Amino acid sequence: MTSALITFAVVILLLTYVFSVMRIYGDSMSPTLFDGDIVIARKTSLLERGDICIFSKDGNFLCKRVIGLSGDKISVDENGVVSVNGEKLDEPYLNTLNAGNNTVEYPVTVPENSYFVMGDNRRTSIDSRSTVVGCIDSRQIKGKLLIKILPTPSILE
C-alpha cells in the first residue's frame, strides 16, 4: 500500500512539473499527428529546429514544428519551399509542399527568445506564416513533444 502511494505521488509530481499529457485537436500537424492523438510533452522552452512543440496562443494550446530559431531569416516561396538563412530546409515529414496562408512579409527574422513554427499540413495550418500567430515567444512554449501514446505509440524525436 505504501509503495503504491509513493508511486502515485511520483507520477503526479512528474506530470505536474516535468511532463504533460495532451490531446491533439485538428489536422494541422498531419501526417505526423492527427486529431485525437494523445501525446506526452516534456516541459521546456529550449527547442531545436525540427522539434514539435506545444505553445499557448490567446488561451489555446497549439501544436507546431519549430522551423526557425532566434536570429534565423525565414522565407517561404510561392510553391511552399522553406528557406532558413538562405538554404532550403529539408523537410522529410511533409507529404506535399504548400505555401498556405502567408500574411507576413518575407524574409522574417526571428526575434530574440522566439521561434518560427509551422504545421506539417501546410495547406490548413495557421502558424508563424500568419500575422495572427507570428513568431512564438519562448515564454509561450509549454513543452516539447516526446512520444505519441495513442492511438499507435511512436517516438517524435
Q: Mind telling me the catalytic residues?
A: 28, 64
For 35-96, the three-class secondary structure string (H helix, E strand, C coil) is: CCCEEEEECCCCCCCCCEEEEEECCEEEEEEEEECCCCEEEECCCCCEEECCEECCCCCCCC
End-to-end CA distance of the chain: 36
- How many C-beta atoms surround the C-beta of residue 33 within 10 A? 24
d(CA 141, CA 90): 24
* DSSP code of residue 1: -
